Amino acid sequence: MSLNLKNLLDFRRLRSEDSPACLNILKAAFTTPWEELDFIFQTPSHALYGVFIQNNLTGFIAVSIMIDESEILNLAVHPDHQQKGIGKALLTHTIQVLKNQQIKKIFLEVDITNIPAQRLYQHTGFQIMGYRKAYYPQPDGTFHDAAVMQLKL
């Protein structure tokens, strides 16, 4: 990531009024995106953190927190901003936020066909623990397996 881009990034916890922008990112980034986010904003154990460039939401991460563990439910960066280090910056920021909340482990599932996401998670210290068969539905009616990953803090 260039120093200029890094200086433009702003991170904050998202609020319910950010939901339409999040849904737009999901629709642009995924073939089978989530269709609503209200459950995240209405559940105290869930949070969304966003990354902004010049006050425009460019990506977000959704997490759930259970005592001293967390699960990454979704991480999405708008396709116009992918492969620029923004996802890594958002993930790194969120890991630090979770560390500050005394989280000891973070879990996630990632589509085994999503090689860039797997690399991102592995470069951040996540390790594959196992697999879930037929976890991600596809538009053609088939399913992709998921790799289950964990990061110990």
Partners of 50 in the β-ladder: 12, 60
Active site residues: 109, 121
Angle at 31 between CA 141 and CA 120, to 5 degrees: 115
C-alpha 26/C-alpha 92 separation (Å) is 20
d(CA 103, CA 106): 8
Yes or no: say if 77 and 89 are a contact pair by the CB < 8 Å rule. Answer: no
Q: How far apart are CA 107 and CA 148, in angstroms?
A: 7
Q: What is d(CA 61, CA 3) in angstroms, rounded to the nearest whole number?
A: 22
- In DSSP terms, 147 is beta-bridged to 110, 131
Encoded tokens for 149: 């990953």
